[in-house]
Amino acid sequence: MTSEALSGRNIASAAAPGSRRGVPAIELAGVAKSFGSGAEEVKALGPLDLAIEAGSFVAVIGPSGCGKSTLLRLIAGLDTPTAGTLRRGGAALDGPSREVGIVFQDHVLFPWASVLDNVMLPADVLSLPKQAALERARWLLKLTGLEDFAGHRPHMLSGGMKQRAAFCRALLADPQILLLDEPFAALDALTREELSLELSRLWQDLGRTALLITHAIDEAVLLGDRLIVMSGRPGRIRLDLPIDLPRPRDVNTEKQPRFLEIKQTARALLFDREKD
């Protein structure tokens, strides 16, 4: 992905609720989620309070099974909490929204459709203006270095390229909020680092709110400007720390003493499960 200027490639996204000054893009109050009932009940998450400022990049890290994906699904409006309230841009959450783009660990591209058609998928679902969507899709593919693969089927792409296509699709409707659930987990270490730095640049260019779920400490500290460390299940917030590292971030960021310090703090908490 290159950081070229973002000129006029916005699909009209009027009165974006996440961008109102002073209003958190995402706000959770006393949110908890359980699955099942009675003896079968699994307390998956919370209760937790969390306010995410518009335009910030929040990285959430926590042990496996602590409710990270559950948290993301709740914020996406794909699931409802057992207790508490969620707001996006100051308004009570009302199911999925075009203002939210999601990228999962698995790229979930349709194998029979071209890369361009895969990226264009939300255009139909969300009834976006066709021509503007097509223009934006092509622009996103260019931005992520996939322009020559627009007509290819997904199986002809590497893992990293498939995940880039998934990012393009999530960004098609120009969402205010980008939710990322371990988007690099299935990639090799080198591609993972390369792609996370590209994401960091893309996020800076787009100026949207991002929430990244990961279990990789390096990735969380490299990308976020705020780090949240969760406890074991039911996941609650154990640490909420600003990541005061300069941007743009690059491979040298990982060598900075402050990077190592934050990483060490998070690691110590993650391995100290006694207090959960």
Which residue ranges make up the site for ligand ADP (CB under 6 A)? 35, 42, 44, 62, 64-70, 233
Quote the longest CA-to-CA distance of the chain.
56
- The one-letter amino acid at 109: L
Residue given tokens 């003896």 in the structure block: 39
What's the closest the beta carbon of residue 198 comes to ligand ADP, in angstroms?
24
Q: In this complex, which beta carbon is closest to ligand ADP, that of residue 60 or of residue 133?
A: 60
* Residue 70's binding partner out of Mg ion, ligand ADP, none, with CB under 5 to 8 Å set by partner kind: ligand ADP
Determine the Cα–Cα distance for residues 157 and 150; give it in Å rounded to an integer: 11
What's the closest the beta carbon of residue 175 comes to ligand ADP, in angstroms?
21
Question: How many chain residues interact with Mg ion (CB under 5 A)?
Answer: 2
What's the closest the beta carbon of residue 231 comes to ligand ADP, in angstroms?
11
Q: In this complex, which beta carbon is closest to ligand ADP, that of residue 64 or of residue 252?
A: 64
The stretch among 31-39, 69-77, 145-153, 246-254 that binds Mg ion (CB under 5 A) is 69-77
What's the closest the beta carbon of residue 185 comes to Mg ion, in angstroms?
9
Preceding amide of 122 cis, omega within 30: no
Binder among 13, 19, 34, 69 for Mg ion (CB under 5 A): 69
Q: In this complex, which beta carbon is closest to ligand ADP, that of residue 154 or of residue 235?
A: 235
Residue given tokens 């660990």 in the structure block: 105
* Residue 249's binding partner out of ligand ADP, Mg ion, none, with CB under 5 to 8 Å set by partner kind: none
- The CA dihedral of 196, 228, 225, 175, to the nearest 10 degrees, is 70
* Residue 35's binding partner out of Mg ion, ligand ADP, none, with CB under 5 to 8 Å set by partner kind: ligand ADP
- At residue 102, what are phi and psi to the nearest 5 degrees? -125, 140
What's the closest the beta carbon of residue 64 comes to ligand ADP, in angstroms?
5
Determine the Cα–Cα distance for residues 241 and 61; give it in Å rounded to an integer: 12
Residue 227 near residue 262, CB atoms below 8 Å: yes
Determine the Cα–Cα distance for residues 249 and 223; give it in Å rounded to an integer: 8
Compute the radius of gyration of the chain from its Cα atoms: 18
Sheet architecture: strand order including 42-52: 42-52, 26-35, 83-88, 91-92
- State the DSSP H helix or E strand holding residue 52, giving kind and residue range, or none if neither: strand 42-52
Geometric angle at alpha carbon 237, from 234 and 240, rounded to 5°: 165
What residues between 8 and 27 interact with Mg ion by CB under 5 A? none
232 lines the binding site for Mg ion (CB under 5 A): no
* Residue 233's binding partner out of Mg ion, ligand ADP, none, with CB under 5 to 8 Å set by partner kind: ligand ADP
* Residue 65's binding partner out of Mg ion, ligand ADP, none, with CB under 5 to 8 Å set by partner kind: ligand ADP
* Residue 110's binding partner out of Mg ion, ligand ADP, none, with CB under 5 to 8 Å set by partner kind: none
- Interface contacts to Mg ion, rule CB under 5 A: 68-69
